[in-house]
Structure 1
Amino acid sequence: MIDTTYRRRLLGTSMFVGAALAASVVAAPAMAQTSQEDTVDTIVVTGSRIARQDYVSTSPIVTVGQEDFQSTGSVTIDSLINDLPQFVPSINSTSNNPSNGGQANINLRGLGTVRTLVLMNGRRVIPSNSDGTVDVNIFPTALLRNVEVISGGASAAYGSDALAGVANFILNEQFEGVQFDAQYGITDRNDGATESYSLTMGAPFADDRGHAIFSLGRSTRDFIYNAARDFSSVSGASGASPLGSTVFDANNLPTNAFVRSYFNDATLTNTGSFGFNDNGSVFSYVRQLGFVSPGGIDYDGFRTRSTDYVYNTGPLNYNQLPLDRWNAYSSLTYKLNDAAELYGSLLFTEYSAAQELAASPAAAATGFRVPSTNPFITPAIRSFLNARPNPAGSFRLDKRFNEVGGRRSTENYTIYQGTFGVRGDVVGLKDWTYDIYAQYGRNERTTLQTGNVSRSAVQTLLDAADGGASICAGGFDPFGISNMSPACVAYIARVSQNVTAQEQTVVEASLQGGLFDMPAGEARFAAGIQYREDDYDFRPDASLSRVNPTVTRADGGTTGGSEIAGFNPTPALKGTTNSLEYFAELLVPLLADMPFIQSLDLNLGYRYSDYSTVGGVQAYKADLDWAVVDSLRFRGGYSRSVRAPSIGELFAAGGTTFPSIGSPSATGLSGDPCDIRSSYRQASNPNAAAVRALCIAQGISAAAIDNFVYSNQQVSGISGGNPNLFEETSDSFTVGAVFTSPFQSPWLSGISASVDYYNIEITDVIGSVGASTQLQGCFNAQGQNPTYSNSNGFCQLFVRDPLSGSVQGAQEIQSNLATLKTSGIDAQFDWTVGLADVGAPDWGNLALNVVIGWLENRERQDVAGGPFINRTGTIDSVFGNTFPEWKSLTSLTWANGPFSVGARWRHVGEMRQFATTTDLDSADYYDLIGSWAINDTVSLRATVNNVGDEQPIVYSPGVQANTDPSTYDTLGRRYSIGLTARF
């Protein structure tokens, strides 16, 4: 519901503005058509509300067009966006776990997708998630004219979310004619086929007073499994295996003497994980002692790559997600007179995507308890139970349920957005124009999940005196490969369906024009008011939202918790936010026609936003544009931007997560610091004793501390929102220069270049501290806890299970953290030359484009007063945390008449794996592009991407599939061909 106060204010202001403008419309006479020669268009470039003749952006900006997208051979827009140095690739088409439901979100400056504002034709777009991010899959690629990307805060012009900058997707709404486009692509391994088809029509009508366009497109993308690539076929190490395993309770451990005698190893401890061989024997995860493999890459993949036993979950994960998408877009304009042009548009997208994971695991917090009376306990397992102080006590069971099948999440989206408005000249005011529009969008998402397992059903089978045989045929033997009957599979398997509905309503009125003449030129002004409301409603399947009560058993064990093992349970979420915003912008020409000052303009902007959540906030900017001479111009400015917390960040209820912490390392900082094999516990660490004491203070028993090992690479966590959040604030500073050649030489006349420095600092950053960061901070990895106190803030974010000592409940809860900083330089160089002009044969033209990004600094401070952690030139195991110092995109094109041939070079600089001494080489990919205009109607194009079939840089722990699939090319060499016919 819209707050009554907001409704009154909105209606009152809108009625005043609307009445004044409507009067102008009624009073304006119909004007005769002006010839094209007499018309001087005004242009609005992303970042400003003021239209100017011969406008040049005062902010760092990069523009890519339709041909650039076609050269990638991809069916999704984000492929090219992520190649640009200004972006840090985030979750995309090769991101399976974690995945965002097949969406394509973009991340400017690596400051987070939530801080990159995405626009379409200068207007907001319906979000795709509770955090307000936009899925760029929804845009009609056939109509895409270009994308303008502006760096630095832009809240003064566009409102919240624009802390990192803006990506404005501009559609060609003046298209005329009929165009058919088709494209097909496939990889060098004959998989991952992509297809796209589009039909676009546009025409003027009513003596050119109106214009209508319609575009319909279909695109598909086939999936690729990790198993299809050597680098990823062994990946996703997990302690949860179909064989089953246990970690004995710390207060009921088998004796060390028995464990060492069983495995004939004098150094083995009793605190590690022990697995169940299919022949009834027991094996040790530590050093894989006694392991009897059933065979296959899933069991044997890591045997030579890991000291501990881990199961290979990677082969049946997706390397490329499938996609089946329909896009439709239509727009209509009709000019009543100079004072009123009606316009409207409708965007519609429907698509499906999927995520595929290994079979459901249940471990640690989601594992089970097996009574000592279970009839399937083998003699070898019984000997371990009898070696405990309490042989009759139950014990923990971790298990992966391959019989139920892999976990598959199929996402179905239906998205539409409609806009209707009126714009025109304000009669009686010199070159003043107005624009009033209303916009409504809705995003419906249905998620179907298979492969889930009911924990209560499994526990019932385990507790049954006959092992569950009376419940389902054969019962459930958890020790070794279970080979459950179809009846037992049906008894424990669960299919779930989640439904999400998201709506956005925007009403805006604005006007702009010239104020008065000054000695240096005309002062111009723009102002407006906007009301925006966002509604979000997530309705999870009842099985995923249900949490069984946790009960402490007589033996000290626990049962209960989440009802589902498989896809992480997510509570329901419903919320509404709204804002009423006022904005104004002023262009002041300061100086002109002076020595070394051709023109000097000042652009000021201000926005006041009143949010229903955080109250009133302010954003403002000041930009300078100094044209020295025709060929040299300097630009720069300062902006204060804000971002109000989103619905999900505010209101999301706590959900279960399983964040990765990596394996213990004697040299790195991954894994559990309390593990005796970690660098924290090594004798060479002068603080090893303090680490040991802190581990005991957290609950690891003194009897277990000197033998404690944790073999899993994941811990249990809790994610959720925080209703006490307040807004983020950023300060951005940019300064740069633009050069266009003044030279007459044909070698030099086609040169243009720009270089811009940016510096962005965000305070009160909304985010969560990941489990791995919590452990590093608690154990003073970068100076966060020098006294090794358990009361330190990082230590308070997690607890340890009193029985096993493992980390549980890592609180990845949203909060206002401290500060995020980034700075660097963007440079662009363009050069064109006609071969005949430089004395060569008349064989056409050459064009070179180079875009380079240099990252000077990337730092994050998690808590106020804490140390800044420098991430410049590093990569880690989280999407969006890839910060190469150098990144570039270079293209060289030769064109001669109907033919063109081009080459692209994509470069990602070398990086160091964060918190290690491991250096990763740079990655270089080369693409070839060619086109042939057969005649005025038909043209062909072809691409070869990753000509050298370069494989991705692999490292451990990677983000996914032993690498970062959003940063590095995981598909290998691939080809595409396309045809465009225009009539």
Structure 2
Amino acid sequence: MMKETNSVTAAVRRTLGIAGSTLLALTTLAAGTASAQEAQSQESSGAVLDVVTVTGTRIVRDGYEAPTPISVLGTEQLAQMATTNLADSVNRLPALSGGRSSHNYSGNISSGTAGINTLNLRGLGANRTLVLLDGKRMVPATLGTGDTATGAPDVNSIPTALIQRVEIVTGGASAVYGSDALAGVVNFILDKEFTGIKGTAQVGETTYHDNESQLYSLALGAPFADSRGHVLFSAEWAGSDEIRGNNRPWNDAGYQLMNNPAYTPTNGQPQLIKRFNTGMSQATAGGLITGCYYGTAPNTAVQAGCPLRGTDFVEGGAYLPFNFGSVISNPYMSGGDWERSRNDNLQSLTMQMDRSTAFGRASFDVTDNTSVFAELGWSKTRAINHHALRTFDFNLKIPVTNPFIPDEIRNGMIANNVTSLAMGTTNADLPPLAGDNTRTFKRYALGVEGSFTMAGDDWSWDAYAQRSTTEALQTAPGNRINPNYTKAINSVRDPSGRIVCSVNADANPANDDPACVPYNPFGIGVNSQAVIDYITETGWADQELTQDVVAISASGQPFSSWAGPISLAFGAEHRREEVDGVASVLDEASPSVFFAGNYHASKGDYNVTEGFVETVVPLAANVPAAQSLDFNGAVRWTDYSTSGDVVTWKAGTTWQPIDDIRVRLTRSRDIRAPSLGDLFNAGQSGGSNFTDPRDQSQYLVTSVTIGNPELKPEEADTTGIGIVFSPRFIPGFTMSIDYYSIEIDGAIASLGAQENANRCERGITDLCRYVIRGADGKIVTVYNQPQNILGQEASGYDVEMSYNLPIGPGDLQLRALGTYFDKLQTKDSGATVEGSGLNAGGAGIGLGNALQSPKYRYLVSAGYNWEPVTATLTMRGISSGKYNNSFIVCTEGCPTSTLANPTIDGNHIDGVKYFDLSLNGKLLDSGAELFMVVENLLNEEPALVAGTRGGGYYNGQDNADYYDRLGRYYRVGVRFQF
């Protein structure tokens, strides 16, 4: 404890030295969320439909006044958080759950999504949250495969330095914004009128002196041509270091879920158990003998009575006895020499990230009522995980003739009539499989906007054309070439006594591989670089996603009623999405040759044509029981070249009976169209730990995901009901409570390798064509194809409160936000899985495609502004939860475990709360300010989440979706504006 305290003190002193003074302030995300944008001035009680940016119409209102709830993060709140990426700031809103970042999605190789930053409203998936840049669509960041991030943009590409505010619409908005707004919209709005120069420089690191980060940004804005024109430019670079391995204090016990080896349907024991001190029972780094083959029996290794079982090969080819522990449930065990076979602590805790962005904009007033603009955007992000996973084998069969077998072991084999050894290894001599993804984003936009008067009414209009591209280069250094590995590990001595690959020693020259170098599977540090070079290669795919958009819209107030002006907006848009790419020869080979990745170049395109109409109609004003009553409606017709046309709509109303209360109600039909990856993925594959449904044996299986061009758009019906309370007797206080319900029909999902095989075995024969078994009866490959197969439903409550009041020489700002996930149901084949209250995140046990989230999330802040210093304390957290709501908890006297209701010895996961502290201090008359942020002030450890049966080898006992795994984090810096 003293050591940690001293390190913390030293870190504080270093950061204070960099800052130049002691400045404390908060990461107040909430401070901006409650008070959305300022309410527009209204000449009457009727609402006004106005233009936001240039892409069509939006209702510009205070977040408490809009029919659909809106939260806003302003410039000051984003600056106070001082994160190195916008997604990290926005993802703290309770309404967002399970977004991807370099901290929680660093190990995925095959999909190429590792390193992207996505936003996920309502826990419904990032592909159902529409992300806009200044009201315009963003091109997807990756093709993806079978993941909720498929088709989602990467927030890394947004020019942070010029962001004026972030608007979050928490409700279905497809009729207003278009496809993918099923869960809501996150709109990053630029400060297009910025004039001057501003910049930021900041550094940070954890309390463990790792994950060092830096951010430097500069933005310029200036008028020209007598202020008829305006130019903007910004540039930014941010980077953070990788944390290789997981050496945190909380990760020292190897926490794992496994099948109970003692379970029988009638002995009263649970089928599933969780144990500490767990490692692999079937493999070690240098190789572990797990059984013996006798005589001519070709496929069955004998463990009981095998005299060589438990021989562990270590450095230099030496070998030691291996204690298998007290609980063995392949491929895991608890106790014994678990630390020697443990692997979950070797994967990188977070990736190395380097991000550069540049943005330029020029606008010019060609007339008093018309202006043109051009925008250029560029970003490049590189995400590197040098230690994603080890390439393992649990079922090697090494014959007695293998020349690398130590003499003593060979003599023991001969003496006991052992013809071959059963071995498992994680191949310590081969490099760990790495992931290295580079994404280059480019955007070009040209537009014109203006206003005119017609029949005495003022109208505004805009039109633009935009092209955006993402070039996604996915590489997998250290990827194992499986056929080469097989040839290299099967070695013999030739007549001269040299050890050679057996393919080069048989009588058939057609089998020869002159490049083959024999691989020694017995030990660590026993293979040369030549062997490694023969077995491993860098897999890669280079794919370009292109999005072309042409849009036009107009808005005005052509009519009036006795209650006020009636607003009308309408517009049209045409969009084309395309993917094209290339992959390495080895990646394209069939059958798959790499351990993971096996990328295939995908090609395909589709186009969308749509038109919309939106209106706000004041129904009453300044009458008893209705100071105002407004109707807001929108309808959008959309035609997809792949699936035909669809109509989305929205109807909403706001009613203010008295000054203190406002009621809002919306109902909408929303959609998510299949993404490029859903439609045209040519196939990506990777190895995963797999349980054979025939005999419950566990082994490695290759899972391949391919696209489905026959997919239809998902459809959802969304209902929102809310009340806003602003009591006149408490000046400065406002509170809102909103209920939401989203019912999705025809949700797109891939069953996954395990579920495909399970259902095939249960008699759904149509799926058996996706399950490929080898000559030995074991499953070799399972194919996945997305389908419109699920029904999903989400409902819950959002609460938001704010209270501003002067106290002493300054102002106190109190904020509270919370989201309660009442229901997150996934319906499939007649079964319903409830995902609300589950804290296992991506490691959810037996949940397949099910939605999941903690029961509630919250954020509370208290800030005090006493010029020139602002300080704020924030508390954010989640509720406790479970692994799976269908589990039956028992330790004795258990009922028979079933597929629908497995028995388990424990089903609780702790909740957590984190405190963040920060301070901003302005340097008077200088235009500069110093800031310091301390996240996770108390260095709160994450809850322990047992590694799942299918993913524990990769994930271990941590859950990165909802818990902070890095620990206390310090950031300090300076920003200026002149």
Residue 601 of structure 1 corresponds to 630
User: By how many angstroms is 1:902 displaced?
Assistant: 0.6
1:62-116 alpha-carbon deviations (Å, 9 max, x no partner): 1112333333342011212222111112321213223623110111111111111
Whichever residue aligns with residue 738 of structure 1, its letter is V
**In structure 2, what is the equivalent of residue 952 of structure 1?**
942
Structure 2 gap segments, 5+ residues each: 1-39, 144-149, 257-278, 494-498, 505-513, 845-850, 888-903
Is 2:847 the counterpart of 1:847? no
2:217 aligns with one of 165, 188, 198: 198
Which residue of 2 is the match for residue 749 of structure 1?
731
Match of 1:146 in 2: 165
Q: Which residue of 2 aligns with 1:172?
A: 191
* 1:823 Cα deviation after fit: 0.2
- Summarize deviations over 1:473-496 as a string: whole Å, max 9, x none: 983222344611222222222123
Is 2:57 the counterpart of 1:49?
Answer: yes
Aligned letter for 2:520? D
Q: Identify which range, 394-403 or 302-311, moves more after superposition.
A: 302-311
Q: Any conservation in 2 of the 1:66–1:146 contact (CA below 8 Å)?
A: yes
Of residues 459-468 and 759-768 in structure 1, the stretch that sits farther from structure 2 once superposed is 459-468
Q: Which residue of 2 aligns with 1:679?
A: none
Amino acid aligned to 2:880? E
- 1:838 maps to none
CA 1:870–1:229 in structure 2 vs 1: closer, same or farther (change >3 Å)?
same
Give me the whole-angstrom Cα distance separating, in 1, the residues matched to 2:606 and 2:425.
42
Deviation (angstroms), 1:798: 4.5
Cα drift, residue 978 of structure 1:
2.0
* Distance in 2 between residues matched to 1:185 and 1:495, nearest whole Å: 33
Letter in 1 for 2:823: N
- Relative to structure 1, is the Cα distance of residues 513 and 375 closer, same or farther in structure 2, using a 3 angstrom cutoff? same
Deviation at 1:720, TM superposition (A): 2.0
Letter in 1 for 2:917: L
Aligned equivalents of 2:83, 2:909: Cα separation in 1 = 27
Distance 2:333 2:909 in 1: 24
2:928 to 930, 935, 938: 938
Structure 2 length-normalised TM: 0.80
CA distance in structure 2 between the partners assigned to 1:474 and 1:502 by the alignment: 40
In 2 relative to 1, CA 334–752 (structure 1 residues): closer, same or farther, beyond 3 Å? same
Deviation at 1:543, TM superposition (A): 1.5
Distance 1:848 1:54 in 2: 18
Distance in 2 of aligned mates of 1:529 and 1:507: 8
Structure 2 match to 1:16: none
Query: Is the 2:839–2:880 Cα contact (8 Å) retained in structure 1?
Result: no
User: Could you tell me how far apart the structure 2 residues matched to 1:257 and 1:204 are?
Assistant: 79
Match of 1:564 in 2: 594
1:536 to 569, 573, 579: 579
Equivalent position SS for 1:432: strand
> In structure 2, what is the equivalent of residue 26 of structure 1?
none
Equivalent position to 1:181, from 200, 205, 223: 200
TM-score, scaled relative to structure 1: 0.79
Which of 452-461 and 591-600 deviates more? 452-461
In the alignment, structure 1 residue 717 sits paired with structure 2 residue 676: no
| Cα shift at 1:347 | 1.4
Aligned to 2:788: 816
Say whether the 8 Å CA contact 1:536–1:573 is kept in structure 2.
yes
Alignment of 1:618 onto 2:647: yes
1:859–1:474 distance in 2 versus 1, CA, 3 Å: closer
| 1:723-802 correspondence to structure 2 within 5 Å | 723-743=709-729, 748-771=730-753, 773=755, 789-791=762-764, 798=771
1:143 CA displacement: 1.3
**Among the aligned pairs, what percent are the same residue?**
28
Kept in 2: contact 1:180–1:197 (CA 8 A): yes
- 1:210 corresponds to 2:239: no
1:587 deviates by 1.9
- Relative distance call for 1:609 and 1:817 in structure 2 (3 A) is same
* Map of 1:637 onto structure 2: 666
State the secondary structure of the residue aligned to 1:62.
Answer: strand
Aligned-partner Cα distance in 1 for 2:586–2:327: 36
> How far does the alpha carbon of each residue in 1:926-946 deviate from its partner, in whole angstroms, 9 at most, with x for none?
011111111141111111111
User: What's the CA shift string for 1:189-233, capped at 9, x where partnerless?
Assistant: 111111111111112223332222111111111111233313346
Structure 1: runs of 5 or more not aligned: 1-35, 292-298, 548-560, 662-671, 675-694, 701-707, 779-787, 836-841
Residue in 1 that maps onto 2:8? none
1:583 touches 1:608 (CA, 8 Å); kept in 2? yes
Question: Shift of residue 580 of structure 1?
Answer: 0.9
Whole-angstrom CA distance in 2 between matches of 1:125 and 1:258: 57
In the aligned structure 2, how far is the partner of 1:334 from the partner of 1:871? 52
Question: Is 1:928 equivalent to 2:901 in the alignment?
Answer: no
SS of 1:884 mapped into structure 2: coil
1:509 to 536, 544, 552: 552
CA distance in 1, matches of 2:76, 2:876: 17
Give 2:138's match in structure 1, choosing from 97, 107, 125.
125
User: AA paired with 1:926?
Assistant: F
Distance 1:810 1:286 in 2: 33
Equivalent in 467, 471, 485 of residue 458 of structure 1: 485
Q: Return closer, same or farther for 1:385/1:722 CA change in 2, 3 Å cut-off.
A: farther
- SS of the residue corresponding to residue 649 of structure 1 reads helix
* Conserved 8 A contact 2:56-2:569: no
Report what 2:114 is aligned to.
Answer: 101
Q: How does 1:336-347 map to 2 (within 5 A)?
A: 336-347=366-377
Give the direction of change, closer, same or farther, for the CA distance of 1:597–1:387 in structure 2 (3 Å limit).
farther
Q: What is the aligned partner in structure 2 of residue 413 from structure 1?
A: 439
Task: Name the CA distance, whole Å, in 2 between partners of 1:591 and 1:223.
Answer: 59
Residues 1:316 and 1:921: Cα distance change in structure 2 (over 3 Å): closer
Please give the secondary structure, in 2, of the residue aligned with 1:227.
coil
**SS at structure 1 position matched to 2:500:** coil
Residue of structure 2 in register with 1:65 after alignment: 74
- Deviation track 1:738-791 (CA, whole Å, cap 9, x = no partner) reads 222322xxxx2010111110000111000112345557778xxxxxxxxx9434
Q: Kindly state the Cα deviation for residue 179 of structure 1 after the two structures are TM-superposed.
A: 1.0
Aligned to 1:9: none
Q: Partner residue of 1:783?
A: none
The equivalent position to 2:823 in structure 1, one of 842, 857, 864, is 857
CA distance in 1, matches of 2:861, 2:336: 42
Of the two structures, which has the highest relative contact order with CA contacts closer than 8 Å and spacing of 6 or more? Answer: 2
User: Aligned pair in 2 of structure 1 residues 473, 483: CA closer, same or farther (>3 Å)?
Assistant: farther
* Bigger mean CA deviation after superposition, 409-418 or 155-164: 409-418
Q: Aligned in 2, Cα 1:359/1:924: closer, same or farther, shift over 3 Å? A: closer
* Structure 1 residue 715 displacement after superposition: 4.4
Contact 1:234-1:312 at 8 Å conserved across structures: no
CA contact (8 A) 2:608 2:638 kept: yes
Separation (CA, whole Å) in 2 of partners of 1:542 and 1:386: 47
Q: 1:564 to 1:792 in 2, by over 3 A?
A: closer
Per-residue deviation, 1:405 = 1.8
How far apart, in 2, do the equivalents of 1:519 and 1:39 lie? 13
Structure 1 residue 175: Cα displacement:
0.9
In structure 2, the CA distance between the partners of 1:211 and 1:189, relative to structure 1 (3 Å rule), is: same
Q: Displacement of 1:920 after TM fit?
A: 1.2
Asked if structure 1 preserves the Cα contact closer than 8 Å seen for 2:286 and 2:427, the reply is: no
Q: Which amino acid aligns with 1:624?
A: T
- Could you tell me how far 1:886 is from its partner in structure 2? 1.5
**Structure 1 counterpart of 2:883, from 901, 908, 913:** 913
Structure 1 residue 438, shift from structure 2 partner = 0.3
Whole-angstrom CA distance in 2 between matches of 1:358 and 1:844: 50
CA distance change for structure 1 residues 332 and 833 in 2, over 3 Å: closer, same or farther?
same
* Residue 629 (structure 1) shift: 2.4
2:127: which partner in 1? 114
User: Quick one: distance in 2 between partners of 1:428 and 1:386?
Assistant: 102
> Structure 1 residues 480, 334: closer, same or farther in 2, change over 3 A?
same
Determine if contact 1:313/1:358 at 8 Å carries over to the other structure. no
- Distance of aligned partners of 1:933 and 1:756 in 2 relative to their CA distance in 1, 3 Å threshold: same
What is the aligned length? 847
Q: Which moved more, 1:112-121 or 1:62-71?
A: 62-71
- In 2, the alpha carbon distance for the partners of 1:91 and 1:507 equals 30
Q: Deviations over 1:394-435 (max 9, x none)?
A: 887654333232222222222111111111113435111111
Say which is worse superposed, 621-630 or 105-114, in terms of deviation.
621-630
